[in-house]
Amino acid sequence: MPSFRHTASLTSAALFAIALLLAGSIAPILGQVSARHATPADGAQLQTPTDIPSPMLLEVRVPSWITKGPTKWATTETGKYVCQEIRIPFVEVWKEEHRGKIRLRVIAGLLANDRPKDVDITLSIVSDSVVVRKQLVEGFTADPISRHPRNPEAEFELTNEEFAALYGPGRAPLVRLILDVKE
**Domain chopping of the chain, boundaries:** 1-33, 50-182
- Could you give the residue ranges of the DSSP H alpha helices within 1-131? 4-26, 40-44
pTM over 0.75: no
Tell me, which fold does domain 50-182 have in CATH?
Immunoglobulin-like (2.60.40)
Over residues 128-178, the pLDDT tens digits come to: 889 999 999 999 988 887 555 578 999 999 999 999 899 888 888 999 999
- Which residue type is seen at 39? T
